[in-house]
Structure 1
């Protein structure tokens, strides 16, 4: 089943649709289902295909590719455990078949059929706002009472001479088009050392490509803990990736349909057979007539919102990658539910922004939430507690000790931030996200029974170490000494 043609839409309910949703990615799907669940009449407009970037070009295909790459890397390293597999061969077309199969398996959950079964009417086409409460879709006027904007984002292309043309002609790949590769590139250059660049760079290296990652910042993962970024940099280099940091690109020089050279500062040239641009994503807010709807965007194109995700047009709300909030699928989903609930029920709940987790799915993973360790410096009573994985029994047993767990604690011992580096770090982070949101203290974590042996021992033991350190302070030690002495005397009197 495909989305309806706009001309086939029934007449809108009196006064217009209760909620118009623009975009069929994660934010749009969650917003539409949330509103329909309240009994609202909902129209969702999607110009391409349901599921958005997460399903087609982001989370799902990238994690499927990473899984295949991890299998190859594990086989090559199996000798460290006394298991010898011989030469590892990668069938790249079969790998991409695995990637497409993962997408196809998950696709029905985001399909038109699933949405319409949930009470959402879906229409295909380009939407343009014609007023503060009206839009136009394929020649059909669409009046609405409330709307949620959820158009998502597209790969950013920095203003490097020759790069825009290379992307436009398909000479250069982006995180949207890399999935069309039929053959493994011999020499792949990744422009951008953030999460996407590191994930895909490591994956292609493990699958057999010669990979170079070029990052203008002084180090990879510039938004993450410096120690975490260092661990990932070492891991990429161990996988054969050439890492060039502090390397500004001056020009792209194509030599063929897909091959060419990057010219860096200092006239250094890096040759490639394929170029992958992974330098972030730009909100898709242009060309929709948002100005006609009275919706303001900032100079970067992000929709301007209040804390409840409402635009300056009180009838229009927004969620997901167009908002300037962290561009993660989980943020989009949670914020979309908030925006739709506020719109349909007349609420004004603030969006959760203080405890948003982020995970870079390299090997090892980097997972973080809340206040970074560097922000603890100079704050009275704040401290940073780190437990390295060579002290975590599960990591020792698996010979995978490069990571660590780090807690940022305020003067009252509350968990204000955390970073975990290691296998399945995203899972280990989950309880720390809850701790940050609820203001839990290190003693709350330390006093909770954790399964042994797991990688969760890292954060847990960091919390235990903090509690023990606090008990060792002079004031606490004196108090404990008094209690021990009183107890000794009481037992002595009882004989």
Structure 2
């Protein structure tokens, strides 16, 4: 995610940018249609993307760096290389072993659903506990710990719904389950989708790349998840996220009147046109 944000940023600064990805598609945790749309957005800006790259290596080439990958492919040569290979928690110098605080095999502090560690009286919040690695999840960690310690309010990590954004332009806003996760769950589901080319606000702005998609349970009408890739997608997603927290059925969204002209005004329309997930 960070690598794609930086790729687009430096391309807009005027740099020639090449993305070398080991996986067969970008942002593999997302649905395939989202990955394909992000790929199209980046390529439309002149970013070169190599997918399914194997045997990645690095070598000096004069004052530049050559990135080699997959036998027979020409190396990508540039002045700088950004490696986006995940995160390692910065817990190795905290003396946690002396306090008896348990770590997992990756170095994250092991916590329960209320963020207690293995030692009574010690709690772990933020990136060190491996429960989110976002600013918003870290702040929510604080709220959970404060509620339990100070307010006798048993808030839990499991109460929150997964939500995050990819800050490319246009951004991707995501909450709840992906289509792939819904299929894997085996439940009967409904899905609705609308391209940004059919969203008036997006057309007005001349930013019609992307789409919106909503998933709901066919038996209970529970909203399962949503993806909004398009202008204001990181904001519009909260229309669905808040309804999920309220445990409102999809019919609540379908009957809502949103303000025109706005990207989110098409979310009720999508909710009215759901079809069985094939």
TM-score, normalised via structure 1 length: 0.52
Inter-CA distance 288–228: structure 2 relative to 1 (3 Å threshold)? same
Aligned partner of residue 322 in structure 1, secondary structure: helix
Inter-CA distance 353–341: structure 2 relative to 1 (3 Å threshold)? closer
Corresponding position of 1:371: 177
Q: Alpha carbon RMSD of aligned pairs, Å? A: 2.0
Q: Does the CA contact (< 8 Å) of 2:239 and 2:264 recur in 1?
A: no
Per-residue CA shift, 1:37-71, capped at 9, x if unaligned?
Answer: xxxxxxxxxxxxxxxxxxxxxxxxxxxxxxxxxxx
Q: Distance in 2 between matches of 1:327 and 1:409?
A: 27
- Deviation, structure 1 residue 331: 0.6
Number of residue equivalences: 273
- Deviation, structure 1 residue 342: 2.3
Counting only pairs closer than 5 Å after superposition, residues 220-239 of structure 1 correspond to structure 2 as 220-239=26-45
Corresponding position of 1:201: 7
Q: Which of 1 and 2 has greater Rg? A: 1
Inter-CA distance 315–347: structure 2 relative to 1 (3 Å threshold)? farther
Is 1:211 the counterpart of 2:34? The answer is no
- Deviation, structure 1 residue 391: 2.1
Given the alignment, which residue of 409, 413, 417 partners 2:216?
Answer: 409
Inter-CA distance 315–385: structure 2 relative to 1 (3 Å threshold)? same
- Deviation, structure 1 residue 272: 1.5
Corresponding position of 1:171: none
Inter-CA distance 461–221: structure 2 relative to 1 (3 Å threshold)? same
Aligned partner of residue 253 in structure 1, secondary structure: strand
Corresponding position of 2:163: 357
- Deviation, structure 1 residue 336: 1.5
Is 1:278 the counterpart of 2:84? The answer is yes
Aligned partner of residue 6 in structure 2, secondary structure: helix
Inter-CA distance 202–353: structure 2 relative to 1 (3 Å threshold)? farther
Given the alignment, which residue of 177, 199, 206 partners 1:392?
Answer: 199
- Deviation, structure 1 residue 310: 0.6
Is 1:382 the counterpart of 2:189? The answer is yes
Q: Distance in 1 between matches of 2:149 and 2:122?
A: 8
Corresponding position of 2:113: 307
Given the alignment, which residue of 268, 271, 287 partners 2:93?
Answer: 287
Q: Distance in 2 between matches of 1:310 and 1:292?
A: 17
Corresponding position of 1:43: none
Q: Does the CA contact (< 8 Å) of 1:260 and 1:272 recur in 2?
A: yes
Q: Distance in 2 between matches of 1:389 and 1:383?
A: 20
Structure showing greater relative contact order (alpha-carbon pairs closer than 8 Å, 6 or more residues apart): 1
Inter-CA distance 438–347: structure 2 relative to 1 (3 Å threshold)? closer
Counting only pairs closer than 5 Å after superposition, residues 48-447 of structure 1 correspond to structure 2 as 195-255=1-61, 259-266=64-71, 268=73, 269-344=75-150, 348-352=154-158, 354-377=160-183, 379-410=186-217, 411-447=219-255
5+ long unaligned stretches in structure 2:
none
